Structure 1
Amino acid sequence: MTTTTFHISGDLEVRRLGFGAMQLPTEAGAARRTSLTVARRAVELGVTLIDTAYMYGGGANEELLAEALYPYPDGLVITTKVGVARSGGEWKLDGRPAVLRRQVEQALRRLRVERIELLQLHRIDPETPLADQLGTLRELRAEGKIGRIGLSEVTVAELQQAREIVDVASVQNRYNLLDRVHEPVLVACERAGIAFMPWRPVAAGTSGAKAEIAAVASETGATATQVALAWLLGRSPVMLPIPGTARLDHLEENLIAAELHLAPAQRASLDLLQEPA
């Protein structure tokens, strides 16, 4: 039976099906009001892991979540990401220690917390030594401003190198039923007990077009999206999907996937699916 919770780093319990906040509009007006409603509804429906990042609106997404959910209910984990900065109107990787420290300090203020339980490096900056990037986050953890350190979009070799510098609590790579380029990274995370948080957990617009997915959806009375998410949850016990949406109906559709059971034959059919590399 698929477990519904996971302990990040062995001690931080979250429900495995979380919520990605990236798609929530932050501009003033009706769309923002809907965003606030969606974030609150996610928590009402039992979500305990919400993913955001400084890059999502230059901190506006973090501010939105704080407006919607502060004071936070017990057990809610909002994870954010740093290491990307705007320069000359474009977003660029920037893992310089001063930048990382400043972004963490700003995230603490925007989220209205004294400690970020899970802080992820949005990307490894190739122009800054990895030891300097992770060393800065390790210092912030020692200061009590970060609880755990994660990575995003890394290879197996980069994960191994990072683990020689710090304890890695999570990895956030692109992964879904039709896109398993990072399968080796998932396997490495599973062996080490590291949380794997797939971004783009549903192949947008294509899942329902696959006959195999459509067949399973028909057999189970579920949607193609629910089938894709249920497959992820059954793929590995360290898998923590974070589907995102700005619509209440899609949110509720996504979260029902945690209750969907796929039969062995259905799962076997889906296991064979992959888009050509």
Structure 2
Amino acid sequence: MEFTGPVPRRSLGPEGPQIPVFGLGSWNTWDRMERGDAATLIRRAVDLGVNLFDVAHYNFGPHAEDAVTDLLFNRAVRDAGLAREDYLLCGKLWLWDYPKTSFAEQIQVSLARAGVERADFVVAGDFFGDLDIRAVVTDATELVRAGWFGAWGVNNWSAADLRLARDFAAAEGLVPPTFAQLKYSLARRSVPEGEPYGRMFAEGLALQASDVFEGGILVGKLNPQRKIGADPGGIRERIRDSYPEVQRVAERFGATPAQLAIAYTLTHPATVNVLFGVSGLAQLQDNLGALELLERHGDELRAAVADLWIDKDVVRPDASWGTDAPERS
């Protein structure tokens, strides 16, 4: 049965905006489609209520590739005839070259490339090594108050770093990060389902699940030819070997591997939004079928995929970017 929408919406944090449970990512997405196909896909997604787009300027740190996917998104939105109020935009603030390259500089460039004057919210991206977290909170707050975006979150931070940021914001009357974009999938659960993050989820922190397909491996694209995310814990080969079991469980429920992967992340009580990339209407429609799977078999999914938790006892629950990073005081 084809999903006709609209998708459900959930609150991004206790006082956050209502956003769709699905959002479309931009990394290696819009540059994999013909111009007309991209516009058609964006128009159809919005019509189904999937009107959240995660768009970044990929030209920092390991993403220093001068990608044009954000420029292509800008063009596709215009080709689709969308007004700015038709969709939500989640931007990125990269920490690789921060504070040498300030948040203010980054947001002005990235929004101009995406063709908008403001983002609805942004994510402060990955980092290695030391970071002045108090400065990050202060600078993000300044941009919120200046109207560049309405809320902010973090991408693959350790729970200890995020706790510091939230506590500092509360003590100083600043704007706290209200959501965490984390690697979360059938295979990678240690951080999102660990006790350190669990305490903050209980306080109202929202979870945005990303990399749910492991670059396509969990849906049968076992040897991706494009650049995909990092491999915390060095478990990618084990994830690749697990695909036959993913397929078996999905077939048991009358679902596709993609639907199983997405539906599983929605069983987490803190999950507000699941990000994925699609390159065609059929793929989008298939992914939306996860909602029916969740409705029919949600209570059974966790037990059914218990053996697919591959980073268990490999990655610490307080890890940063999925690595076994030490806590900061």
Task: Name the TM-score class by shorter chain.
Answer: 0.7 to 0.9
2: CA distance between counterparts of 1:5 and 1:267?
23
Shift of 1:104: 0.6
2: CA distance between counterparts of 1:75 and 1:221?
34
User: Does the residue aligned with 2:261 lie in a helix, a strand or coil?
Assistant: helix
User: Does the residue aligned with 1:114 lie in a helix, a strand or coil?
Assistant: coil
1:26 equivalent to 2:26? Answer no
2: CA distance between counterparts of 1:129 and 1:214?
44
Instruction: Report if aligned partners of 2:16, 2:151 keep a CA contact under 8 Å in 1.
Output: no
For residue 187 of structure 2, the aligned residue among 178, 190, 198 is 178
Shift of 1:55: 1.4
User: Does the residue aligned with 2:287 lie in a helix, a strand or coil?
Assistant: helix
Indicate the residue corresponding to 2:76 in structure 1: 68
User: Does the residue aligned with 1:242 lie in a helix, a strand or coil?
Assistant: strand
After superposition, the Cα gap between the structure-2 partners of 1:101 and 1:266, relative to the gap in structure 1 and judged at 3 Å, is closer
Superposed, 1:116-155 pairs within 5 Å as 116-124=119-127, 126=129, 128-155=131-158
Superposed, 1:18-97 pairs within 5 Å as 18-26=23-31, 31-55=34-58, 58=66, 60-70=68-78, 71-72=82-83, 74=85, 76-83=87-94, 93-96=96-99
For residue 159 of structure 1, the aligned residue among 162, 165, 172 is 162
1:6 equivalent to 2:41? Answer no
Shift of 1:5: 1.9
Letter in 2 for 1:174: K
| TM-score computed with the length of structure 1 as normaliser | 0.83
Instruction: Report if aligned partners of 1:95, 1:133 keep a CA contact under 8 Å in 2.
Output: no
User: Aligned residues: percent identity?
Assistant: 24
2: CA distance between counterparts of 1:228 and 1:242?
12
1: CA distance between counterparts of 2:308 and 2:264?
11
| TM-score computed with the length of structure 2 as normaliser | 0.71
User: Does the residue aligned with 1:235 lie in a helix, a strand or coil?
Assistant: coil
Structure 2: unaligned runs, 5 residues or longer: 1-6, 60-64, 170-174, 221-241, 315-329
Query: Over aligned residues, Cα RMSD in angstroms?
Result: 2.7
1: CA distance between counterparts of 2:298 and 2:94?
41
Shift of 1:134: 2.5
Q: Which region of structure 1 is more displaced relative to structure 2, 163-172 or 264-273?
A: 264-273
Instruction: Report if aligned partners of 2:11, 2:272 keep a CA contact under 8 Å in 1.
Output: no
User: Deviation per CA, 1:30-66, whole angstroms, max 9, x where unpaired?
Assistant: 6344333333332233202221212176473333222
Instruction: Report if aligned partners of 2:51, 2:88 keep a CA contact under 8 Å in 1.
Output: yes
After superposition, the Cα gap between the structure-2 partners of 1:11 and 1:5, relative to the gap in structure 1 and judged at 3 Å, is same
Instruction: Report if aligned partners of 1:122, 1:151 keep a CA contact under 8 Å in 2.
Output: yes
Letter in 2 for 1:178: A
2: CA distance between counterparts of 1:173 and 1:11?
18
Indicate the residue corresponding to 1:15 in structure 2: 20
Instruction: Report if aligned partners of 1:59, 1:110 keep a CA contact under 8 Å in 2.
Output: no
User: Deviation per CA, 1:46-94, whole angstroms, max 9, x where unpaired?
Assistant: 202221212176473333222222543646211010225xxxxxxxx11
Superposed, 1:102-251 pairs within 5 Å as 102-124=105-127, 126=129, 128-163=131-166, 164-165=168-169, 166-182=175-191, 183-184=193-194, 186-203=197-214, 204-206=216-218, 209-210=242-243, 212-251=245-284
User: Deviation per CA, 1:130-149, whole angstroms, max 9, x where unpaired?
Assistant: 22222111111111112101
